[in-house]
């Protein structure tokens, strides 16, 4: 009876990531660095979704050379596999970015190789964590917090009978509606991949993220603290 082959697997789900073209080059190098040229030429794939079509390329240069690529994407996958001397699948790496998750998986017959590749990818991707990740992780708490703030501020305004303090309630209600009914991953995605080659502070995720923070501070200060300061 033939001995069963042992396979080792290690996978991770990560915080939201923000990458540019240079980062994609570094990530490609990390994914490919323990594979032979033949394995890279034959088995390496990069893919994304354009419209309703899933497209695949054999190299990062081919992928970035597509004229139909937008300036920013959230959906992208890296895949490579290797074979042993007997022609059997020996190892593979999958890195997957999407609007709703960032994850990767390393699988192979050598546990040392699996551990090393996993550690290398983890270190690189964790260094690319998007600045707005707390907004995503604390989204449910923010909805609860805003709900309490909104009710409290309305009660305060009714008690002091001052209509001038209703503007911040409207702004707070707008943020609450946005977080509850809108797919916020369209603006603050888990994977923010910039293909234009540059970085701007006026990108939509930066603008909307800062706007939410500013509105919350304004509503808390203007609707909760300021009425008491002016009254007492």
pLDDT, one tens digit per residue, over 114-173 is 999 999 999 999 999 998 888 888 877 877 777 777 777 666 666 666 555 566 666 677
Examine the domain organization and report whether 73 and 139 are in the same domain.
no
Segments forming the whole domain that contains residue 32: 9-126
Contact 30, 116 (CB under 8 A): no
Last residue of a domain, one of 126, 154, 179: 126
Q: In what order do the strands lie in the sheet with 17-19?
A: 17-19, 191-194, 72-73
Q: Judge whether 77 lies within some domain.
A: yes
Residues 141, 145, 146, CA angle at the centre, nearest 5°?
Answer: 120
Q: What is the pTM of this model?
A: 0.77
Structure tokens at 216: 């919350």
Spell 153-183 as b/e; 16+ CB within 10 A means b.
bbebbeeeeeeebeebbebbeebbebbeeee
Last residue of a domain, one of 79, 96, 126: 126
Structure tokens at 127: 């260094």
pLDDT, one tens digit per residue, over 65-100 is 999 999 899 999 999 999 887 767 889 999 999 999
Number of domains forming the structure of the chain: 2
Q: In what order do the strands lie in the sheet with 45-50?
A: 8-13, 102-108, 89-97, 76-83, 45-50, 53-57
In angstroms, the first-to-last Cα distance of the chain is 87
């Amino acid at each position: 009876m033939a001995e069963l082959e042992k396979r080792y697997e290690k996978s991770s789900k990560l915080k939201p990531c923000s990458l540019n073209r240079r980062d994609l080059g570094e990530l490609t190098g990390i994914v490919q660095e323990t594979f032979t040229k033949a394995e890279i030429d034959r088995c390496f794939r990069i893919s994304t979704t354009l419209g309703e079509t899933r497209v695949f390329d054999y190299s990062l240069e081919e992928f970035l050379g597509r004229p139909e690529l937008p300036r920013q994407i959230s959906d992208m996958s890296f895949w490579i596999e290797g074979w042993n001397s007997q022609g059997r699948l020996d190892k593979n790496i999958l890195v997957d970015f999407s609007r709703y998750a960032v994850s990767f998986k390393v699988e192979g017959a050598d546990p040392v190789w699996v551990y090393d590749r996993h550690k290398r990818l983890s270190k690189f991707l964790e260094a690319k964590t998007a600045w707005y990740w707390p907004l995503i992780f604390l989204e449910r708490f923010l909805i609860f917090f805003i709900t309490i703030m909104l009710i409290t501020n309305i009660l305060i305004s009714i008690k002091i009978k001052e209509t001038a303090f209703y503007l911040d309630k409207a702004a707070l209600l707008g943020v609450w509606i946005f977080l509850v009914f809108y797919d916020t991953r369209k603006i603050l995605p888990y994977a923010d991949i910039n293909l234009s080659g540059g970085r701007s502070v006026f990108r939509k995720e930066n603008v909307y993220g800062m706007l939410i923070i500013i509105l919350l501070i304004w509503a808390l200060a203007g609707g909760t603290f300021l009425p008491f300061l002016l009254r007492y």
